[in-house]
């Protein structure tokens, strides 16, 4: 069920009144039923995988809970009768059991994700190496599995670390795992916030409903007017690297940057809006990312929840893990700086390799991830240089000109890295990227080139207008959310804004017969 | 309380303005079919009719190109209308007939059988030309549901803006001229007049399934049931166009059906010599459709058959009809002469 489909709007139109009309204590059960419909609509196989995740994570977390209780009771009983060493041994035995359960659950859940994400690629690789028919070619990601696996595994790890208690009701865990707006393209949520909000009672609030409608409409606006329009040109540019090279690639970088932003943030706006409509607050996933002045800042403001997840569950534990500490010690003889850097660098590169791998099975994603890591580490290394520069030219560093330069530099840098996202092979991506510096063909771009990408001049004008609106609103957003300001001006004004958004979507959106109803770009990850 | 009322009124007004604007924009972007393709204008013209009809023709291009209701009236006083459109599928003919029978009960319904060769929806563009002009009722809804091809959605038939919004940068003077009016009819009671002469030549041979699709035959059966229920004589006709080909196996199937249901079936291809149709002068596109000269010949011939077989009354001399047809005949002759003089 695509967000931009009548089926989804009908689904929402039925869910919202039913949700608020039933007694509050059973609201979450109604939501669970609707989630089940949504999941089954996307395919029964997906529902089975989701059920496996829920069952395994529920069983594991309950086992953790039981083991923690037993551990506490046993250690309390041993306090006066056993030595410290004996108590430590007992504690380690309990920890070992928990770790075994954790590893089994992680292997199962990441195994499913891995098989679906990489099965077809491994099949082709195996056939290439050993001959025969490639296996697993019909394996494909099921609806939302990359997102709900991470969210649910996050909960598993939280319970394992005793930072959140284990949920006793498996249906509540199922509700958290299957919450439908999150299945399209995230964000990756935490059980202690969204999971709890999902089961809490919610009363209808007209103002909140209107505010949520505004957010949903704005999401559709970005998706249907800007993203789906630009995607036509981006696809055309990526499909023929032999034809579109040189300055076309610069154009592709900019178009893809705008397209991906409109697509991903548009989808998240719809997700958060739908959650808000049901009284459930979902974490923000963006904070005006294209105004970042460095790549590391950008990654703190783009797909925030994925970055947070990796930081919380991979980067920090890995950085302070025993092997890393040992490695740090082993490299002390090369100097304190090296000893300090090695674990950080290794953890950073591993996290970025995993981030790349999360995005897809293609080698391009792995290279993209690692390059992001390398750029971030290089920036870290260059910090003393920057500091010296700013010390020498203190006024320049604070000027709007320099800030603008830093923002543009970051956008161009991340757009260059994203070229890897556009092509099927690393070779195509690199040769296309470097052709920008060897071929000067702006003439070809403007003499028929841009017209050959499947968009009319009107389409470009509408897309440009859309991008300018997004940019202007992002500028205004620095001083607080625009929705709050709109809502402050009263219901009539808010409704007028909503109707203008809907009207422009209906008139200028790319939808209906003759247009591919495109899924969100991040849905494929 | 006062503030709430004001808010409510404000929202209501905003919604009225919004829906009014949507309606206006929707009308603006919907194709008008006044210059091309004219076939899209035909379905809607039926609703402009002020008099009832003795004969309704239903079918595809072989009815709206080959039968001239003006000739039928001028020669025999038969009142008729053609509910036909380009590639109008059998179930679309059924629902257009069902729709027409809501407001009138003709004595005879003539169905041109060529469309029986299609058992599945064919093309969104042709669906639109047939269905967009249909008034909104249960027949239209059922016709849409039966006709949609893959990728089409039902809502866009009810709200044309959803389908035609991308025409916003392709608007022409025609769109503004006929924004809120359907304008003058482009047909003559459903007949599209063409004066071009393009002689028939050898047409490409094609592979075909000797069996007509079961689904289209079922729709024909439903059409026969509908007419039977209303006491209307259903006549099956294959007009004399020679391409697309009408194969002997299909002919036999339709003849057997007509025989089984006690219906008249006229295959006019065999009657071309009797009618006097010369495919060197009476066709506008190499034998696919008749031009006005061929259509008039066929109408003269078939009018006589229908009048004799079904004792259709001669309405000439009846003031209501004479006034209507006199104006129509004048426009018909003017158009014919104009097109002839322009070499079309």
Q: What is the pLDDT of residues A149-186, one digit of tens each?
A: 999 999 999 999 999 999 999 999 999 999 999 998 88
B265 backbone dihedrals φ, ψ, rounded to 5° = -130, 120
For residue A490, the chain B residue with the least C-alpha distance is: B7
B90-100 and B138-147 are packed helices; what angle lies between their axes, rounded to 10 degrees?
180
More confident residue, A42 or B146: B146
Q: Is B15 within 8 Å of A495 when comparing Cβ atoms?
A: yes
Q: Is B163 within 8 Å of A512 when comparing Cβ atoms?
A: yes
DSSP of A449-507, one letter per residue?
Answer: IGGGGS--HHHHHHHHHHHHHHHHHHHHGGGS-HHHHHHHT-HHHHHHHHHHHHHHHHH
Q: Is A503 within 8 Å of B151 when comparing Cβ atoms?
A: no
CB contact set of B113 (below 8 Å; sequence gap of 6+): B59, B220, B236, B237, B238, B246, B250, B254, B265
Confidence band (pLDDT; 50, 70, 90) for B344?
low
Domain ranges, ordered by start, for chain B: 50-121+185-341
Q: Is the pLDDT of residue A522 over 80?
A: no
Q: Is B22 within 8 Å of A490 when comparing Cβ atoms?
A: no
- Distance, C-alpha A385 to centroid of its chain: 33
Confidence band (pLDDT; 50, 70, 90) for B318?
very high
Q: Is B18 within 8 Å of A6 when comparing Cβ atoms?
A: no
Please give the pLDDT value at position A237. Answer: 92
Quick: pLDDT tens for B21-41. 999 999 999 999 988 889 999
d(CA B97, CA B90) in angstroms, rounded, equals 10
Q: Is B7 within 8 Å of A492 when comparing Cβ atoms?
A: yes
Quick: pLDDT tens for B215-245. 999 999 999 999 999 999 999 999 998 888 8
Q: How far B11 CA lies from chain A's nearest CA (Å)? A: 5
Name the DSSP class of A155: H
List strands edge to edge, sheet with B55-59: B80-84, B55-59, B108-112, B233-238, B264-267
In terms of C-beta distances under 8 Å and separation of at least 24 residues, what long-range contacts does A513-516 make, across chains too? A513/B124, A513/B151, A513/B152, A513/B153, A513/B156, A513/B163, A514/B166, A515/A228, A515/B166
A162 backbone dihedrals φ, ψ, rounded to 5° = 65, 25
Question: CB of B169 within 8 Å of any CB in chain A?
Answer: yes
Comparing C-alpha atoms, which of A503, A116, A186 is closest to residue B21? A503
Note whether A227 and A269 are within 8 A (CB).
no
For residue A512, give the nearest of B15, B156, B168 by CB distance.
Answer: B156
For residue A502, the chain B residue with the least C-alpha distance is: B18
Chain B positions touching A512 (Cβ under 8 A) are 153, 156, 162-163, 165-166
Q: Is the pLDDT of residue A525 over 60?
A: no
> Which stretches of chain A sit within 8 Å of chain B by CB?
6, 456, 458, 490-492, 495-496, 499, 502-503, 506-515
Please give the pLDDT value at position A420. Answer: 92
Q: How far B23 CA lies from chain A's nearest CA (Å)? A: 11
Share the mean pLDDT of chain A.
Answer: 90
Q: Is A515 exposed, middle or buried (0-12, 13-18, 19+ CB in 10 A)?
A: middle
Read off the pLDDT of each residue in A461-473 and give the average, rounded to a whole number: 95
d(CA A285, CA A186) in angstroms, rounded, equals 9
Read off the pLDDT of each residue in B185-192 and give the average, rounded to a whole number: 94
Q: Is A512 within 8 Å of B22 when comparing Cβ atoms?
A: no
CB contact set of B104 (below 8 Å; sequence gap of 6+): B52, B53
Note whether B132 and B160 are within 8 A (CB).
yes
Share the mean pLDDT of chain B.
Answer: 92
Please give the pLDDT value at position A61. Answer: 95
Matching residue, tokens 């097109």: B339
For residue A461, the chain B residue with the least C-alpha distance is: B169
Q: What percent of chain A has pLDDT over 70?
A: 97
Gyration radius of chain B's alpha carbons: 22
Q: How far B12 CA lies from chain A's nearest CA (Å)? A: 9
Chain B positions touching A514 (Cβ under 8 A) are 166
d(CA B332, CA A144) in angstroms, rounded, equals 63
For residue A516, the chain B residue with the least C-alpha distance is: B151
For residue B165, give the nearest of A491, A495, A507 by CB distance.
Answer: A507
Note whether B156 and B162 are within 8 A (CB).
yes
Q: Is the pLDDT of residue B154 over 80?
A: yes
Q: How far A457 CA lies from chain B's nearest CA (Å)? A: 10
Please give the pLDDT value at position B343. Answer: 66
d(CA B299, CA B306) in angstroms, rounded, equals 10
For A184, the 3-state DSSP assignment is helix
Matching residue, tokens 């979507």: A505
Q: Which residues pair with B188 in a beta bridge?
A: B191
Using DSSP bridges, classify how beta strands B264-267 and B233-238 pair: parallel, antiparallel or unpaired: parallel
d(CA B203, CA B289) in angstroms, rounded, equals 13
d(CA B20, CA B26) in angstroms, rounded, equals 10
Q: Is B14 within 8 Å of A496 when comparing Cβ atoms?
A: yes
Name the DSSP class of B56: E
Give exposure, B48-70, as e/b (b: 16+ Cβ within 10 Å): ebeeebbbbbbbbbbbbbbbbbb
Token pair belonging to A77: 């009983």
More confident residue, A331 or B327: B327
For A310, what's the count of Cα atoms within 13 Å in the CB-facing half-sphere?
Answer: 19
Note whether B264 and B109 are within 8 A (CB).
no
Q: Is B14 within 8 Å of A495 when comparing Cβ atoms?
A: yes
Confidence band (pLDDT; 50, 70, 90) for A518?
low
Question: CB of B150 within 8 Å of any CB in chain A?
Answer: no
For residue A499, the chain B residue with the least C-alpha distance is: B18
Quick: pLDDT tens for A113-162. 888 888 777 777 777 788 777 776 776 777 788 899 999 999 999 999 99
Q: Which helix (H) or strand (E) holds B316?
A: none
For residue A10, the chain B residue with the least C-alpha distance is: B155
Quick: pLDDT tens for A202-260. 999 999 999 999 999 999 999 999 999 999 999 999 988 888 999 999 999 999 999 99
Confidence band (pLDDT; 50, 70, 90) for A520?
low
Q: Count other Cβ atoms within 10 Å, centred on residue A159.
A: 24
Please measure the distance between the N-terminal and C-terminal CA atoms of chain A and give it in whole angstroms.
17
For residue A494, the chain B residue with the least C-alpha distance is: B11
Comparing C-alpha atoms, which of B218, B42, B44, B43 is closest to residue B118? B218
For residue B153, give the nearest of A6, A492, A507 by CB distance.
Answer: A6
Using DSSP bridges, classify how beta strands B55-59 and B80-84 pair: parallel, antiparallel or unpaired: parallel
d(CA A5, CA B131) in angstroms, rounded, equals 23
For A34, the 3-state DSSP assignment is helix
Chain B positions touching A228 (Cβ under 8 A) are none
Note whether B198 and B285 are within 8 A (CB).
yes
Question: CB of B148 within 8 Å of any CB in chain A?
Answer: no
For residue A503, give the nearest of B10, B22, B168 by CB distance.
Answer: B22
Q: Which residues pair with B112 in a beta bridge?
A: B237
| Cis peptide upstream of residue A51 (ω within 30 degrees of 0) | no
Note whether B325 and B70 are within 8 A (CB).
yes
Please give the pLDDT value at position A337. Answer: 78
Q: How far A415 CA lies from chain B's nearest CA (Å)? A: 30
> Among A42-46, A52-56, A134-138, B116-120, which is the least confidently predicted range?
A134-138
Q: How far B152 CA lies from chain A's nearest CA (Å)? A: 6
d(CA A154, CA A177) in angstroms, rounded, equals 11
Chain B positions touching A508 (Cβ under 8 A) are 165, 168
Comparing C-alpha atoms, which of B246, B248, B237, B226 is closest to residue B100? B226
d(CA A516, CA A505) in angstroms, rounded, equals 16
Please give the pLDDT value at position A516. Answer: 60
**ipTM of the predicted assembly exceeds 0.85:** no
Interface probe for A, chosen from B25, B132, B166 (most Cβ of A below 10 Å), is: B166
Q: Count other Cβ atoms within 10 Å, centred on residue A71.
A: 17
Please give the pLDDT value at position A384. Answer: 86
Token pair belonging to B49: 């009719």
Interface probe for B, chosen from A492, A498, A503 (most Cβ of B below 10 Å), is: A492
DSSP of B127-185, one letter per residue?
Answer: HHHHHTTS-SSHHHHHHHHHHPPTT--THHHHSTHHHHGGGGGS--HHHHHTSS---S-
- Distance, C-alpha A353 to centroid of its chain: 15
Comparing C-alpha atoms, which of A204, A275, A200 is closest to residue A25? A200
CB contact set of A353 (below 8 Å; sequence gap of 6+): A366, A369, A370, A373
Q: Is B264 exposed, middle or buried (0-12, 13-18, 19+ CB in 10 A)?
A: middle
Chain B positions touching A454 (Cβ under 8 A) are none
Please give the pLDDT value at position B159. Answer: 92
Confidence band (pLDDT; 50, 70, 90) for A195?
confident
d(CA B260, CA B234) in angstroms, rounded, equals 13
For residue A503, give the nearest of B18, B151, B152 by CB distance.
Answer: B18
Please give the pLDDT value at position A117. Answer: 84
Q: How many residue contacts between A and B have a Cβ separation below 8 Å?
A: 52
Q: Is A511 within 8 Å of B21 when comparing Cβ atoms?
A: no
Quick: pLDDT tens for A314-366. 999 988 888 888 888 888 888 877 788 888 888 899 999 999 988 887 889 99
For residue A491, give the nearest of B11, B15, B168 by CB distance.
Answer: B11
Q: Which residues pair with B235 in a beta bridge?
A: B110, B264
Read off the pLDDT of each residue in A79-103 and give the average, rounded to a whole number: 89
Q: Answer yes or no: CATH 3.40.50.1110 is held by domain B50-121+185-341.
A: yes
Give exposure, B91-115, as e/b (b: 16+ Cβ within 10 Å): bbbbbbbbbbbeeeebbbbbbbbbb
For residue A462, the chain B residue with the least C-alpha distance is: B169
> Among A241-250, A254-263, A477-486, A508-517, which is the least confidently predicted range?
A508-517
Residues B164, B170, B173, B174, Cα dihedral to 10°: -40
Chain A positions touching B15 (Cβ under 8 A) are 495, 499
């Amino acid at each position: 069920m695509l967000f931009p489909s009548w089926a989804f709007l009908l689904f929402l139109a039925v869910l919202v009144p039913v949700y608020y009309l039933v007694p509050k204590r059973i609201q979450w059960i109604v939501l669970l039923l609707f989630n089940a419909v949504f999941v089954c609509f996307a395919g029964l196989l997906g529902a089975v995988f989701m059920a496996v995740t829920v069952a395994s994570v529920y069983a594991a977390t309950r086992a953790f809970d039981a083991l923690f209780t037993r551990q506490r009771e046993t250690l309390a009983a041993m306090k006066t009768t056993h030595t410290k060493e004996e108590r430590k041994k007992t504690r380690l035995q309990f920890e070992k059991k928990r770790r075994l359960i954790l590893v089994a659950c992680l292997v199962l859940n990441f195994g499913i994700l891995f098989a679906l994400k990489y099965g077809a690629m491994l099949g082709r690789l195996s056939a290439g190496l050993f001959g025969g028919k490639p296996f697993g070619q019909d394996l494909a990601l099921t609806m939302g599995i990359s997102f709900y696996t991470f969210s649910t595994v996050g909960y598993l790890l939280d319970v394992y670390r005793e930072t959140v208690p284990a949920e006793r009701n498996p249906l509540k865990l199922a509700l958290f795992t299957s919450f439908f707006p999150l299945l399209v393209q995230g964000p990756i949520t935490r059980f202690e916030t969204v999971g709890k909000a999902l089961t809490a009672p919610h009363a209808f609030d007209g103002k909140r409903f209107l505010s949520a409608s505004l957010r949903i409409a704005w999401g559709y606006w970005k998706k249907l007017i800007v993203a789906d329009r630009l995607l036509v040109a981006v696809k055309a540019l990526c499909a023929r690297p032999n034809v579109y090279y040189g300055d076309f690639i610069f154009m592709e970088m900019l178009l893809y940057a705008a397209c991906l932003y409109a697509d991903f943030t548009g989808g998240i706006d719809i997700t958060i809006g739908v959650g808000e409509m049901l009284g459930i607050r979902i974490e923000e996933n963006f904070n005006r990312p294209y105004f970042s002045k460095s790549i590391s800042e950008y990654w703190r403001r783009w797909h925030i929840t994925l970055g947070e997840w990796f930081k919380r569950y991979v980067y920090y534990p890995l950085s302070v893990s025993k092997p890393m500490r040992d490695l740090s010690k082993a490299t002390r003889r090369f100097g304190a700086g090296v000893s300090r850097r090695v674990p950080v660098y290794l953890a950073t590169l591993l996290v970025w390799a995993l981030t790349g791998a999360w995005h897809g099975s293609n080698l391009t994603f792995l290279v993209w991830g690692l390059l992001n890591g390398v750029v971030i580490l290089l920036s870290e290394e260059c910090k003393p240089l920057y500091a010296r520069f700013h010390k020498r030219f203190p006024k320049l560093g604070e000027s709007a000109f320099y800030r603008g330069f830093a923002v543009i530099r970051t956008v161009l840098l991340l757009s260059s890295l994203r070229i890897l996202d556009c092509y099927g092979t690393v070779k195509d991506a690199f040769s296309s990227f470097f052709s920008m510096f060897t071929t000067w063909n702006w003439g070809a771009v403007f003499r028929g080139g841009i017209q050959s990408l499947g968009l009319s001049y009107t389409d470009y004008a509408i897309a440009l207008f859309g991008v300018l609106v997004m940019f202007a609103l992002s500028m205004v957003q620095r001083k607080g959310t625009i929705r709050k300001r709109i809502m402050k001006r009263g219901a009539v004004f808010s409704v007028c804004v909503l109707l203008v958004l809907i009207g422009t979507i209906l008139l200028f959106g790319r939808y209906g017969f003759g247009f591919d109803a495109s899924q969100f770009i991040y849905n494929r990850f | 309380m006062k503030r709430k009322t004001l808010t409510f009124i404000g929202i209501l007004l905003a919604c009225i303005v919004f829906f009014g604007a949507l309606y206006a924009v929707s009308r603006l972007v919907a194709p008008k079919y006044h210059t091309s393709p004219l076939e899209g204008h035909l379905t809607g013209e039926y609703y402009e009719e002020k008099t009832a009809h003795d004969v309704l023709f239903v079918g595809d291009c072989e009815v709206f190109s080959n039968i001239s209701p003006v000739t039928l009236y001028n020669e025999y006083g038969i009142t008729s209308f053609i509910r036909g459109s380009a590639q109008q599928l059998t179930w679309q003919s059924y629902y257009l007939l069902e729709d027409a029978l809501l407001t009138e009960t003709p004595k005879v319904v003539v169905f041109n059988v060529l469309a029986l060769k299609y058992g599945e929806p064919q093309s969104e563009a042709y669906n639109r030309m047939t269905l967009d002009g249909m008034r909104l009722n249960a027949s239209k809804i059922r016709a849409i549901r039966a006709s949609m091809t893959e990728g089409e959605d039902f809502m866009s038939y009810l709200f044309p803006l959803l389908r035609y919004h991308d025409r916003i940068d392709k608007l022409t003077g025609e769109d503004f001229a006929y924004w809120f009016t359907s304008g003058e009819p482009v047909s003559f009671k459903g007949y599209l007049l063409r004066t071009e002469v393009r002689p028939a030549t050898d047409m490409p041979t094609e592979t075909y399934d000797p069996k007509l699709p079961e689904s289209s035959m079922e729709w024909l059966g439903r059409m026969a049931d509908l007419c039977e229920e209303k006491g209307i004589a259903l006549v099956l006709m294959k007009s004399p166009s020679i391409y697309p080909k009408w194969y002997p196996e299909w002919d036999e199937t339709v003849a057997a059906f007509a025989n089984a249901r006690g219906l008249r079936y006229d295959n006019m291809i065999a009657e071309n010599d009797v009618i006097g149709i010369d495919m060197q002068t009476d066709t506008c596109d190499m034998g696919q459709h008749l031009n006005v000269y061929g259509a008039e010949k066929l109408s003269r011939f078939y009018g006589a058959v229908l009048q004799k077989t079904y004792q259709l009354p001669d309405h000439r001399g009846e003031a209501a009809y004479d006034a209507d047809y006199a104006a129509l005949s004048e426009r018909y002759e003017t158009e014919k002469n104009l097109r002839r003089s322009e070499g079309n």
